[in-house]
Amino acid sequence: MSSSPGKDQIQNGIKEIYNTVLSTKNITARYIAILALASLWLDAYDFASMSFATASLENTFPNVSSLLISFSIGVIDLGALFGAIIGGWLNDRIGRRNMFILNMILFIFMAILGGFSTNIYELTVFRGLLGFALGADTATGFTYIFEYLEREQRLFWSNLWQLQWYIMYLVTIGFILLPFYFIEHSLTTPILWRVIMIVGGVIAAVILGFRSKIPESVLWLAYQGKLATAKKIIKKTYGIDLPNVPDVDVFIRPVGKGVKSAFSIFKASKWRELVYSFNGNFEQGFIFYTFGFYIPYILLALKLVGPLASLEALSILYTGGIIGGYLTAWLTPRIGTKSQYVIGAVGEGTSVGLIALTYILHLPVQYFVFFSFLFFFFHVIGPASQGMTSINTFFGTAERGTAAGWGYSWVKLAALIGLLIGLAGVKINPIGMTLGLAAYGIATGILGLFIGYDTRKYKLEDIAELTEKPQKV
């Protein structure tokens, strides 16, 4: 009868598992990245489709105020704000895979129930809970990518998240909204928003089916001491045997359970990392939802173009996001994330400043569209991509879910504030608003230049955290 492995054997086994995952290229990287960040597809789908469904909701509930209609649509961001924080924290406690499954189940039920809402209050509650699932799932997705892929692969694939978002936006217009229009000859019929909600639930069900086959994060298992389970996953995923790793599942690093653990990432030693990541995430959400979100409204309300030309212009602008989304991943191993953070933020701010110039000089609409194209391009290259990649680099397995949740919560907090003040800014003082946003974007780039980090060169927190003293085996 063999004796139980000692503490040193278990510690060495954990290190071997970590080194195997972080140094072995994963041939399923594309598949995993798409599945892990599937919440972004759902987020973009809801954003694109519901932005065209306001009139449909108004026709369904004619006696409801415009403010309440808008809140029922935008409450998804409020739910996502809390979902990111709470879901990210749960991530570190019950596991990445479990959260993947629970998030999609919640989304499916809330989307379908929302589609059958009998009043605006029911819809608001269902969409708020749906947003909770999206926020929690986005935090889970980034965490999973960083613990499933090799250290260079995870930087590349996590930086593709904006590309996925913009592609899904255009797919929603081309394959959901346009076919509906050709069938119903209208985008204002009361059934549109119900179809949007239910189709979202169907998409989530498909995602759930694929996700049911993915394994738990190997690093999350190994960190706690579940070596036997981690070995089996590595054998199945990579085809690699690890004979020196003990075949035991023990608990040597149980995670914190109290409320205090939800704030564990806020450390004085990490202030630069937190300010760099959080401000980048807030900046990208604030500028997008204060200005970028209202570009279609600006084109139509100011009668710069007609409805069809507005759709065409929007497609051109979002193509800038797609180009930037792919380019930022391609540039990551070449010039790093900090360079892109700075270049993108300054370029984004400059683009918005040029848009202010079109207001001041009353330039033709072509200038507005071109500068807006540049805005989306630099927006995606800059903090929009680098913020989430950075915050996941700055923390190891023990706190990565919590960190990712807090990181994404700043995106959603900025979205809420931007949506509330953006329309007023566009109507009352568009020059002042765009100049202010331009200054904020450029200031973010300058701040990033002085306090930021290139994630390629940042210490590998996954390995560093293994030096923490484990409990007695």
Residue 81 · residue 128 · CB < 8 Å? no
- HSE-CB at 142 with a 13 A cutoff on CA atoms is 37
Give the CA angle between residues 324, 327, 332 to the nearest 5°.
125
Say what the pLDDT of residue 29 is.
79
> In terms of Cα–Cα distance, which of 349, 341, 325 is closest to 275?
341
Instruction: For residue 51, give both structure tokens.
Output: 């932005």
DSSP structural state of residue 468: S
Cα 279 to Cα 288: distance, rounded to the nearest angstrom: 14
Residues 142-185: tens digit of each pLDDT: 999 999 999 889 999 998 888 989 999 889 888 888 889 889 88
Residues 183-208: tens digit of each pLDDT: 988 888 999 999 999 999 999 999 99
Mean pLDDT along residues 21-25: 91
Say what the pLDDT of residue 50 is.
87
SS3 annotation, 284-327 = HHHHHHHCHHHHHHHHHHCCCCCHHHHHHHHHHHHHHHHHHHHH
Say what the pLDDT of residue 168 is.
92
Cα 414 to Cα 407: distance, rounded to the nearest angstrom: 12
DSSP string, 174-205: IIIIHHHHHHHS-S-STTHHHHHHHHHHHHHH
- Is 70's pLDDT higher than 60? yes
CB-count burial class (<10 Å; 0-12, 13-18, 19+) for 244: exposed
Q: Is 395 helix (H, G, I), strand (E, B) or coil?
A: coil
Place of tokens 């704000």: 81
CA 238 to chain centroid: 27
Report the length, in residues, of the chain: 473
pLDDT band at 41 (very low <50, low <70, confident <90, very high): very high
Cα 323 to Cα 379: distance, rounded to the nearest angstrom: 11
Instruction: For residue 370, give both structure tokens.
Output: 């071109």
> Which amino acid type is present at position 263?
F
With b meaning 16 or more CB within 10 Å and e meaning fewer, what string describes 80-100?
Answer: bbbbbbbbbbbbbeebbbebb
Say what the pLDDT of residue 453 is.
96
What does the mean pLDDT of the chain come to? 91
DSSP structural state of residue 249: B
Residue 394 · residue 267 · CB < 8 Å? no
Q: Is 448 helix (H, G, I), strand (E, B) or coil?
A: helix
Residues 433-453: tens digit of each pLDDT: 999 999 999 999 999 999 999
> For residue 397, how many other CB atoms are within 10 A of its CB?
25
Residues 307-324: tens digit of each pLDDT: 556 666 777 888 899 999
Say what the pLDDT of residue 468 is.
65
Q: What percent of the chain has pLDDT over 70?
A: 95
Mean pLDDT along residues 24-45: 88
Instruction: For residue 272, give both structure tokens.
Output: 């630069």
Say what the pLDDT of residue 1 is.
45
> For residue 435, how many other CB atoms are within 10 A of its CB?
18
CB-count burial class (<10 Å; 0-12, 13-18, 19+) for 23: exposed
* Helix, strand, coil percentages for the chain (3-state, nearest 5): 80, 0, 20
- Is 300's pLDDT higher than 70? no
> For residue 4, how many other CB atoms are within 10 A of its CB?
10
pLDDT band at 265 (very low <50, low <70, confident <90, very high): very high
> For residue 347, how many other CB atoms are within 10 A of its CB?
22
> Which amino acid type is present at position 305?
V
Please name the helix (run of DSSP H) or strand (run of DSSP E) that holds residue 450, with its range, or none: helix 430-451
Residues 212-235: tens digit of each pLDDT: 999 999 999 999 999 999 999 999
Instruction: For residue 270, give both structure tokens.
Output: 């990490």
CA 366 to chain centroid: 31
Say what the pLDDT of residue 308 is.
59
Q: Which of 217-221, 298-302, 426-430, 452-456 has the lowest mean pLDDT?
A: 298-302
Q: Which of 26-30, 109-113, 190-194, 360-364 has the lowest mean pLDDT?
A: 26-30
Q: Is 157 helix (H, G, I), strand (E, B) or coil?
A: helix
Cα 203 to Cα 132: distance, rounded to the nearest angstrom: 17
